[in-house]
Amino acid sequence: MLEQELIVAVRAVRAACGVCRKVQSALVSADTLEKKDKSPVTVADFASQAVICKQLGEHFQDDPVVGEEGADDLRADGSEEIREGVRIVVSQSIGDEASEAAVLSWIDRGTFDPAEAEEKERKRYWTLDPIDGTKGFLRKEHYAVALALIEDGEVVLGVLGCPKMRVGRQQGAIFTAVRGQGAKTLLIDSDDMVGEPITVASRQEVEKARFCESVESGHSNQSDSAEIAKKLGITKEPYRIDSQCKYAAIGKGSASIYLRLPTRKDYEEKIWDHAAGMIVVEEAGGTVTDVAGQPLDFSLGRTLRANKGVVATNGNFHDTVIAAVKDVLGV
């Protein structure tokens, strides 16, 4: 079940990770950080989406894509240099000259909005974050390429590319999950599709667990996280890492609790920020809900508007964590 979808998704994410690595190596430097120059990540972001959407379009022509990007910003006056940079990077990736119009059309494939579509179009679509963790990318630290398939409002497949994460002694991991078939890890620099199964940590004592949270404090309320940890008796320093790589860390047992706590009341989580990571954790044996303990609802469009925040654990003490979260947040 979903065998062809998984093969295509892994190939697409591998190609996108290759694009991101090349751009990061060639364009990101101490100078770009000092000048707060975001053009390298902009080029990589658009090129990653173009490469993935091209492959999805070739194999699953009728499947829409809910992506983070559209090409309108690239078409704007003053964007000529970045637009040409994206075209060149995509051409290098696909091994053939890509026209500007073709690249922009591939990027625009990611503008689908399920909430505005007809019912038959909402039955099945992909969701994509071409680079999750842009600040991590610019720091040459952790970032992710996240691709997931949603059918009838349920995430059924996820592929999470983490170029800076290690598998054994080798850097560059891809985490995959298919509903009911478990989660695995593969190498980015390989054609292997078999991979190795992963499971969440078996730890039962919540006080001995380790939190995983964002490097950027603006992504989650870290003061509330600290209060929750204190309430649970957790004393270990948090494992701070950018992007959906946090889900991968939970899935492979490097940490046991991930909290993404609301930073403001009106914020709605985007589906592309959680779909791939969520299914990896769940298929590795963990549990993912919102801060009230409710399942994440991916059936409502481009956001998780029925949910507030996210809590992911190894599953063994999820209810205990939720109780502490509710107490601290007053949910």
Q: Which of 150, 170, 197 is the last residue of a domain?
A: 197
Q: Tell me, what CATH number does 184's domain have?
A: 3.30.540.10
Q: 165 and 36, same structural domain? A: yes
Based on the structure, what is the number of domains in the chain? 2
Q: 226 and 192, same structural domain? A: no
Q: Return the active site residues.
A: 45, 134
Q: 190 and 213, same structural domain? A: no
What is the model's pLDDT at position 30? 64
Q: Which of 178, 197, 216 is the last residue of a domain?
A: 197
Most confident of 71-85, 171-185, 209-223: 171-185
What is the model's pLDDT at position 196? 96
Q: 16 and 54, same structural domain? A: yes
3-state secondary structure of 28: coil
Q: 178 and 277, same structural domain? A: no
3-state helix, strand, coil in the chain (%, to 5): 40, 20, 35
Range of the domain at 251: 206-329
The one-letter code for the residue type at 123 is K
Mean pLDDT over 43-68 rounds to 96
Q: 150 and 56, same structural domain? A: yes
Q: 231 and 92, same structural domain? A: no
Q: 191 and 69, same structural domain? A: yes
DSSP symbols for 88-137: HHHHHHHTS---HHHHHHHHHTTB--GGGS-GGGGSEEEEEEEEE-HHHH
Lowest mean pLDDT among 27-31, 130-134, 204-208: 27-31
Rounded to whole angstroms, the Cα distance separating 304 from 254 reads 27
Q: Which of 169, 197, 225 is the last residue of a domain?
A: 197
pLDDT tier at 331, thresholds 50, 70, 90: confident
DSSP symbols for 160-222: EEEEEEEETTEEEEEEEEETTTEEEEEESSS---S-EE--------GGG--EEE-SSGGGS-H
Residue 197 has pLDDT above 90, yes or no: yes
Q: Tell me, what CATH number does 270's domain have?
A: 3.40.190.80
Q: 234 and 128, same structural domain? A: no
Q: 261 and 112, same structural domain? A: no
Q: 141 and 7, same structural domain? A: yes
Q: 150 and 8, same structural domain? A: yes
What is the model's pLDDT at position 34? 53
114-152 pLDDT tens trace: 999 888 788 999 999 999 999 899 999 999 999 999 999
